[in-house]
């Protein structure tokens, strides 16, 4: 298909995203690689490979790609679903301006469980997102009824050599504030538990309007800068069970978190008031 750029939608770590009109009459989003360095190109190719093999209602769908790019600048690109509802980050920022914290059951039904189920499929395929954050969770429409996970460029460890190269360039696999502690210190042991930590940060932030206290990025013993308040301190409808669940997702040591996203799903569904989550 042929594409006509309509407007710029945003920019990620290594690519710009545009709304495009296609020759089939439909609107798509197109991601163009902005900086064709060895790491960025590797991440771009990784994202295409991952999206091409994943098929889930809560993971953005990819359609076409060209790693060689088109003239005159030959920037690699791919097209994906155009998600009209904006990002969870924009939604959160808009709500937090008025001191709002998200309703517990809506958050679980519309964001947390759908994200868990999408991650479950990815983890089953040996794929870990490693950069989960509100910017990478998008709504399909303005009614905010369905989410899609995007930006899978850090999605899979493709060999110790590539990890060592990333580390040597002073880069980490993830975003400060949202990435798990092991993404700073132990590049060779990152697995699905890192995604659980990142989702825990998102969950905590939606329930409280604030990020959990950070761990000390210079301390390999992994200690928090201060005691982490339970979400119920800021959100009176949070139950003791949900407090414990979110705090367990945010354990600094991976072995103390839920060991799989399936275990997390089972825990949420076992709560005494789980009937309200459906």
Same domain assignment for residues 219 and 255: yes
Same domain assignment for residues 50 and 100: no
CA-CA distance, 250 to 212, in Å (whole number)? 9
Same domain assignment for residues 167 and 257: yes
- C-alpha pair distances (Å), 34 with each of 15, 69, 75: 5, 11, 7
Which are the contacts of 43, defined by CB distance < 8 A and separation ≥ 6? 13, 14, 153, 154
pLDDT averaged per 10 residues, the chain (length 278): 93 84 96 83 90 96 93 90 96 92 93 97 94 96 96 66 42 79 76 96 96 70 78 92 96 95 94 57
Which domain does 68 fall in, by range?
3-80
Number of folded domains in the chain? 2
Q: In this predicted structure, what is the pLDDT of residue 219?
A: 55
The catalytic residue among 35, 73, 131, 151 is 131
Residue ending a domain, among 53, 80, 107, is: 80
Same domain assignment for residues 192 and 272: yes
Same domain assignment for residues 130 and 47: no
Residue 70 designated active-site? no
Q: In this predicted structure, what is the pLDDT of residue 189?
A: 72
């Amino acid at each position: 298909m042929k594409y006509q750029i309509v407007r710029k939608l945003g920019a990620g770590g290594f690519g710009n995203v545009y709304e495009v009109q296609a020759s089939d009459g439909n609107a798509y989003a197109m991601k163009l690689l902005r900086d064709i360095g060895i790491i960025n190109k590797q991440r771009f190719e990784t994202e295409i490979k991952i999206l091409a093999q994943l098929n889930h209602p809560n993971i953005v769908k990819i359609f076409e790609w060209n790693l060689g790019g088109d003239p005159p600048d030959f920037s690699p690109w791919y097209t994906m679903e155009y998600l009209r509802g904006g990002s969870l980050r924009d939604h959160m920022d808009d709500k937090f301006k008025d001191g709002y914290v998200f309703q517990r059951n809506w958050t679980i039904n519309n964001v947390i469980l759908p994200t868990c189920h999408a991650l479950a499929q990815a983890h089953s395929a040996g794929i870990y997102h490693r950069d989960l954050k509100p910017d990478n969770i998008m709504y399909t429409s303005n009614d905010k009824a369905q989410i899609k996970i995007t930006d899978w460029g850090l999605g899979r460890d493709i060999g110790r050599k590539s990890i060592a190269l990333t580390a040597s360039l002073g880069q980490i696999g993830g975003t400060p504030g949202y990435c798990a502690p092991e993404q700073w210190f132990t590049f060779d042991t990152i697995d699905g538990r890192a995604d659980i930590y990142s989702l825990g940060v998102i969950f905590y932030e939606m329930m409280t309007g604030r990020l959990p206290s950070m761990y000390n990025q210079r301390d390999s013993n992994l200690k928090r800068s201060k005691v982490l308040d339970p979400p119920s301190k800021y959100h009176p409808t949070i139950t003791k069970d949900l407090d414990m669940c979110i705090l367990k997702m945010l354990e600094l040591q991976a072995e103390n978190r839920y060991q799989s996203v399936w275990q997390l799903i089972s825990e949420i569904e076992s709560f005494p008031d789980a009937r309200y989550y459906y």
